[in-house]
A = this chain, B = another copy of it.
Amino acid sequence: MKTILGLDIGGTKILGILYDENGKELAREKKKTKANEGLDVVINQIYKVIDNLLEFENSELIALGAGVPGLVDDEGTIAFSPNIPFRDFKLGEKLSEKYAVPIYVGNDVNVAMFGEYKHIDRRASKHVLGIFIGTGVGGAIIIDGKLYTGQGSAGEFGHMVVSADGAYCGCGAQGCLEAYASKTAIQKYISKQLNKGRKSMFTELLEEDGAVLKSSSIRKAYDAEDELAKEIVDRLARYLGIAVGNLINLYHPEMIIIGGGITEALGEILLDKIISESRQHAMPGLLGTVNFEVSELADEAGVFGAYHLAKNML
């Protein structure tokens, strides 16, 4: 049976799913990335995931796709990855040596958002943007039904300056969206408020969650009408609303998909606030022409997008 393999290579784990030609899942495999054990170990972990999946009965692999964090060019070369020891590493070429099929390697956010797009495209929208709120803020651009990456790195929505002379961003610049709307920025804001002596459920929630606050905890505090939680959600919606307004004025897309853990945890609550804020920034008449969706695939968006991008190479 002809099969297509989708991989999501993350900083902590590698998820692979083997699909048939119609996108039906046949098998899945998950392994640790072991990013801190060096490049060769990581490559071996990737091979193991692929090889285990290829043992599926009568599987005849015809294409392979993968999403990886970092800057990836059209040839599948990873200039830099934040959590995995890939530096100017030709992952596409490396995989091609072992697996003689068309191979797609792309940025993880682009690949995952393409997965969401393929999952959601009931209305057959051709021009779609995805904003992904995670540790950072990523983005993806779909034009004429295809992923658009420009010279390779288009869609860095998190590094759109929304506030000149504003908050410092991890990238070194000031006022980037990511400095306001990422999970990192939110947790920093919460800590700052707690250090000021504000009372909030987040004191306990942070103790329970450990180093990284869970998205579900933000929802929990919001539902309990915690003042700080309400403030955080409003602040998040404010900056995402500006960004969404900007993106509408810049791309006039048919659909915007907003994704990531926080988005999925807050759902319509956040989406309604974002739309309401973006009303002040989108040009008259444009906002009403754009459909909004919240991502739905969570951790599986990446593999599903990788499957579709691999399939597109055939």
Q: How far is the CA of A139 from the CA of B250 in the complex (A)?
A: 9
Q: A79-B285, A151-B289 are in contact. Are A160 and B246 (CB under 8 A)?
A: yes
Residue numbers in B under 8 Å from A157 (CB-CB): 249-250
Encode contact with B along A142-171: 1 for CB under 8 Å, 0 otherwise.
010000111111111101111111100001
Most buried by B among A139, A238, A250, A285: A250
Could you tell me the distance in whole angstroms from the C-beta of A288 to the nearest C-beta in chain B? 11
Residue numbers in B under 8 Å from A289 (CB-CB): 151
Do residues B173 and A280 form an inter-chain contact, with CB atoms below 8 A? yes
Do residues B245 and A151 form an inter-chain contact, with CB atoms below 8 A? no
Residue numbers in B under 8 Å from A151 (CB-CB): 127, 252-254, 286, 289-290
Q: Do most interface residues of chain A lie in helix, strand or loop, or is the interface mixed?
A: loop
Question: For the complex formed by this chain, how many copies does it contain in all?
Answer: 2
Do residues A163 and B164 form an inter-chain contact, with CB atoms below 8 A? yes
Do residues A160 and B249 form an inter-chain contact, with CB atoms below 8 A? yes
Most buried by B among A141, A155, A173, A280: A173
Q: Which of A229-244 contact B (CB under 8 A)?
A: 238-239, 242
Q: A79-B285, A150-B127 are in contact. Are A250 and B156 (CB under 8 A)?
A: yes
Do residues B239 and A283 form an inter-chain contact, with CB atoms below 8 A? no
Do residues B148 and A143 form an inter-chain contact, with CB atoms below 8 A? yes
In the assembled complex, A118 has its CB within 8 A of some CB on chain B:
no
Do residues A281 and B173 form an inter-chain contact, with CB atoms below 8 A? yes
Residue numbers in B under 8 Å from A283 (CB-CB): 153, 156, 159, 171
Q: How far is the CA of A153 from the CA of B253 in the complex (A)?
A: 9
Closest to A164 in B: B163
Residue numbers in B under 8 Å from A257 (CB-CB): none
Do residues A251 and B164 form an inter-chain contact, with CB atoms below 8 A? no
Residue numbers in B under 8 Å from A239 (CB-CB): 164
Q: A148-B143, A285-B71, A285-B79 are in contact. Are A252 and B154 (CB under 8 A)?
A: yes
Closest to A247 in B: B250
3 smallest CB-CB distances across A and B, nearest first, come from A150-B252, A156-B249, A154-B252
14 extra A-B contacts, CB within 8 A, seeds A149-B252, A156-B283, A163-B163:
A141-B251, A143-B148, A150-B252, A150-B253, A150-B254, A151-B252, A151-B253, A151-B254, A159-B249, A161-B242, A161-B246, A162-B162, A163-B165, A173-B280
